[in-house]
């Protein structure tokens, strides 16, 4: 009976963890805390910005870089410009090892009474699972851009903001409405 209760508790806890897991970072503004994910920008001059997008461990590098470029295009259009030129660009990779599972202390044991066998001892294998180690990687893309009006020209670092928005828009995942 107690084993069934503990097994049901373990299943419920696993289900709750699965329901709470977030997923890749959506396209959203980053919060003020350094651990929060999303885009941010800093105005350097009237037509120059530094833009960044930080993803969580479930957001791949390509998505982080696309969201940063999408934010550059969106900001360019919001500021009344047509073209943005990438002056500098970089992507940081932060990898660490995370321990999952296992139990740090003594095993969880218990006693119960069985009318047929008397007092019995047991232990819960849920608390004695081996530890698993995973590599966790997070990406953050940065760019410094200069905005301008008119056609893009022949500079390979220049982007037409409307075309970038149109081409990347289908792949942009926004947070669910609350």
Reference 173, options 8, 24, 26, 11; nearest CA is 26
* Residue-by-residue DSSP string for 115-131: TTTEEEEEE-GGGGPPP
pLDDT in tens, the chain (178 residues): 444 444 444 444 443 343 345 799 999 999 876 678 999 999 999 999 999 999 999 999 999 999 999 999 999 999 999 999 999 999 999 988 877 766 555 555 667 777 877 777 766 555 555 677 888 899 999 999 999 999 999 999 999 999 999 999 999 999 888 6
d(CA 6, CA 13): 10
Describe the crossing of helices 161-168 and 61-78 by its angle, rounded to 10 degrees: 140
Give the burial string for 95-127 (b: 16+ CB within 10 Å, else e).
Answer: eeeeeeeeeeeeeeeeeeeeeeeeeeeeebeeb
For 171, the token pair is: 């792949």
Kindly report the number of other CB atoms within 10 A of residue 52's CB atom: 19
Q: Where are the domains of the chain?
A: 24-95+137-171
- Note the pLDDT tens digit of each residue in 87-133: 999 999 998 887 776 655 555 566 777 787 777 776 655 555 567 78
């Amino acid at each position: 009976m107690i084993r069934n209760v503990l097994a049901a508790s373990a299943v419920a806890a696993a289900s709750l963890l699965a329901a709470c897991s977030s997923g890749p970072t959506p396209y959203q503004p980053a919060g003020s805390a350094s651990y929060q994910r999303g885009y941010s920008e800093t105005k350097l001059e009237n037509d120059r910005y530094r833009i960044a997008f930080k993803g969580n461990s479930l957001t791949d590098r390509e998505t982080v870089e696309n969201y940063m470029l999408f934010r550059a295009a969106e900001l360019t259009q919001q500021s009344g410009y047509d073209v943005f030129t990438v002056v500098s660009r970089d992507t940081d990779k932060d990898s660490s090892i995370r321990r999952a599972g296992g139990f740090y202390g003594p095993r969880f044991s218990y006693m119960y009474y069985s009318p047929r066998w008397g007092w019995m001892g047991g232990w819960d294998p849920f608390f004695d699972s081996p530890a698993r180690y995973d590599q966790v990687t997070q990406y953050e893309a940065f760019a410094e851009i200069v905005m301008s009006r008119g056609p893009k020209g022949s500079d390979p670092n220049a982007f037409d903001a409307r075309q970038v928005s149109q081409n990347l828009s289908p792949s942009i995942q926004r947070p669910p409405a609350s």
